Amino acid sequence: MPTAHFVALFLLAPLTACGAPKGEGPRRCNGSAAACERRLDEITVAGAHNAMSNAEEGWLFPNQSWSVQRQLGAGVRGLNLDVYDEGGVATLCHGYCSLGSEPLVDLLLRVNEFLDEEPDEVLLLTFEAYASPALVEAAFRESGLRSRVISPDGPDWPTLDALVEADQRVAVWASDGGGDAGWYRDQWTDWVDNPYAVARDEALPCEADRGQPSNPFFNLNHFITDPVARAEDAALVNAAAVLTEHIDRCTAEMGRPPSQVLVDFVDLGDAIAVVAQMNEG
């Protein structure tokens, strides 16, 4: 269910999450100097499918190994999340809250802390929403993250450099159950994606599923659900050769590269490294 390392160690110098010494050299937006001059809809991010559902924090049948903090630290810049109304509280769950849950505000607090520490990073958040926009907004306001959410006022999205300068570094969409034309947007007004329910014996598809192909953002679902996510499957499809073949094929069919490459078990394979290379091109 949707809506994706190069790690350099420099001794004696503080680092950003993407490996560039803080305060030295040109700005690197999301790890890339070239990306700073591009609009938000002209870059690609590595996305974590069902990012909240992770083994590190004890979720059952997880889609990820790492906590969201570790995902962000490793280079993930797209978080795909499911949010429910649990007793009037916006709560992250994956289908059944008995498999794992967390108040949305708690995760957003950690996201806000990450942005405090990494001033050149821009994030995309996509929700499958079963909670009202009002509940979701309450969590954003309580966490302090609401002030950093982009509210574009025209058809053209800002460059990453402009977003960093304004400290408006989070874009938020809802794929179901909410969203409007302001800060909490309807995903399929702005995005198109390829099919996401792919079994082990099927080819990874490229054709448009939800949204219009002309929409500015393109989400590439690149994972197998048969019937749940498995690390063994992710290790195979996240390998660079398989991933780049899918990206190249879908780029040709859609007429532009994906805005997000959404994967399960982002710690396995090469998704973060492949996306980093795309943004340098």
| Res 54: pLDDT | 98
- Structural domains for the chain: 34-280 (3.20.20.190)
Amino acid residing at 247: I
pLDDT in tens, 222-257: 999 888 899 999 999 999 999 999 999 999 999 999
pTM of the model: 0.90
pLDDT in tens, 29-81: 999 999 999 999 999 999 999 999 999 999 999 999 999 999 999 999 999 99
| Res 11: pLDDT | 23
pLDDT in tens, 175-190: 886 677 689 999 999 9
Can you say whether the dihedral through the CA atoms of 201, 204, 208, 211 is positive or negative? positive
Can you say whether the dihedral through the CA atoms of 237, 275, 77, 74 is positive or negative? positive
Instruction: Dump the DSSP string for 189-206.
Output: HHEEE------TTSPPP-
Q: What are phi and psi of 219, to 5 degrees?
A: -95, 125
In angstroms, the CA 92 to CA 33 distance is 34
